[in-house]
Amino acid sequence: MTDLNALTAANAKRWANAKLTRSFTPVARHLAAPTAKARYQAVSGETGVPWAVIAVIHQRECSQDWTGSLAQGDPWNRVSVHVPAGRGPFRSWEEAAIDALVNCAPYAARNKDWSIGRTLAKLEQYNGLGYAARGRPSPYIWSGTDQYRSGKYVRDGVYDSNVVDSQPGCAGLLMAMMALDPTITFTGATITPAITAAPSSTEKPAAPSIANPAKGSIGAFIANIFTAIFRRKS
């Protein structure tokens, strides 16, 4: 059984050391847009779960599709078939989201500790603790940061160490959202992590040629002679 206190400490340490390896800003802008934020805040008001946490779950579960349930991405206007199965149908996205946070494991609405370490541990519980049991960073949290390289459950109970999760992880999404919206805060969280610098795009010097001889070469010596002759003629 996973020690949640140890997982909380591990994720707090990873957050402090993490650097983003891709840009999360475009997705974060959609999650923090005023209309979306208002809907997340409405659910937050009913559950006590921070609205930014609701937003990143929505992104991970169904790419912020408002027809998909927060619980597992199934259409909220039909009975769900994926875990948690048998939920719904609901009258709105908001009603389905409240049900997911209040009545479905890991019962996020019961959580009272929203420090960054515990927040990330709760998000990891939301997806499952299989990665923690293996001693591996969860891509659900860390994909798109230098804390994660590879490894993914490709289906229930089947882990492939070579697969790389291409979805943006919750930690990177929260970092990007915090940079855009200073009202988003978590105890112990800073947003010092930055996107890893890309290789310099400065153009390389042109290779030596007749038109561009290397400095100090015979070609450069001859070119200087011709330059001097033409200057005298002009």
- pTM value? 0.80
Q: What pLDDT is recorded for position 210? A: 45
Q: What pLDDT is recorded for position 9? A: 96
What are the residue ranges in the chain where pLDDT is below 70? Answer: 191-234
Q: Are 88 and 96 in contact (CB under 8 A)?
A: yes
Q: What pLDDT is recorded for position 216? A: 54
Q: How far is CA 127 from the centre of its chain?
A: 15
Q: What pLDDT is recorded for position 224? A: 54
67-75: which pairs have CB atoms within 8 A and are 24 or more residues apart? 67/93, 69/93, 69/96, 69/97, 69/100, 70/96, 70/97, 70/100, 70/101, 71/96, 71/99, 71/100, 71/104
Q: What pLDDT is recorded for position 2? A: 83
pLDDT tens per residue, range 125-140 = 998 999 999 999 999 9
Q: What pLDDT is recorded for position 191? A: 65
Token readout for 209 is: 């040629």
